[in-house]
Amino acid sequence: MRCIFCKNDSSKSRSVEHIIPESLGNTTSILPKGVVCDACNNYFARKVEKPFLEAPALMSLRFHQAIPNKRSLIPPISGMLSPGFPVTAYRYTKRPFVGMIDVPSDAVEHIFQNDGGRLILPIGGQPPSDKIISRFLAKAAVETMAQRLLDTSGGIDYIVDRPELDPIRDHARRGNIPDWPHHSRRIYDMNETWIDEFGSEVQMVHESDILQTAWGEYFFVLAIFGLELVINYGGSEIEGYRRWLLENNGDSPLHIGKNKVNSRLRRATS
Ligand SMILES: [Zn+2]
């Protein structure tokens, strides 16, 4: 067995690969051991996923949406207790409120003497750099293609041997193309809820698909809590996706055609 990134023998590799990190709520999109070798798996965790997940915008998202990491912890967030005490807020499970707040002792005194401070926690924040987002997408794009071909005989070999995929896998592995562009936009609010086929209200944590355009380009389309991120499999340009959007009324490929939302889920608030 060979790794879909470095193409080295991976038959002794032990780790499974999460296409989207567990710390973004992924428990289902997982590649079996050996599809990505242990060395590549570790490298991506340290050099691509960690800087992605630890950008302030992602820390804030993980806190507010209460997404536990693989140790079942939700990352804490720094905030402010009015009129100006720095605090750290913690939460433990999927609850609508903050679990615990670390406050400096002078703030505690202030709260007792007054009516209590107002807790201000940031929403949003600095996103990961374009380069990290792009490499994160490149990794997930190649892995999603592998996932599609897992059950096909020779499918993983096909991915490994496909020269057209070499630029995108090199970009994921080395980041050697400094400005491989991606397309980013919000397609629904991060708190949007949907009704599933059982009538339960659910949140769309992440969804993804591969878009093939009429003129033969392939794009990987990922949405994380309504933030749609797109990368081109074939090279460092994104014009083809803009063109596709113009021809499709700006709809998301995740929600039209075969992915028409109404067939699976409907928006709870519309
Ligand atoms: Zn590898």
Q: How far is the CA of 11 from the centre of ligand 1 (A)?
A: 11
Q: How many CB atoms lie within 10 A of CB 171?
A: 24
Q: How far is the CA of 32 from the centre of ligand 1 (A)?
A: 14
Q: How far is the CA of 9 from the centre of ligand 1 (A)?
A: 8
Q: How far is the CA of 6 from the centre of ligand 1 (A)?
A: 4
Domain boundaries along the sequence of the chain: 69-120, 130-267
* 153-163 pLDDT tens trace: 999 999 999 99
Give the model's pLDDT for residue 263: 45
Q: How far is the CA of 146 from the centre of ligand 1 (A)?
A: 14
The larger pLDDT score, comparing residue 256 to residue 120, is at: 256
183-186: strand order across its sheet: 183-186, 227-232, 218-224, 206-212
Per the prediction, the chain carries an average pLDDT of 87
- Classify the C-alpha dihedral 242-176-55-39 as positive or negative: positive
Q: How far is the CA of 193 from the centre of ligand 1 (A)?
A: 38
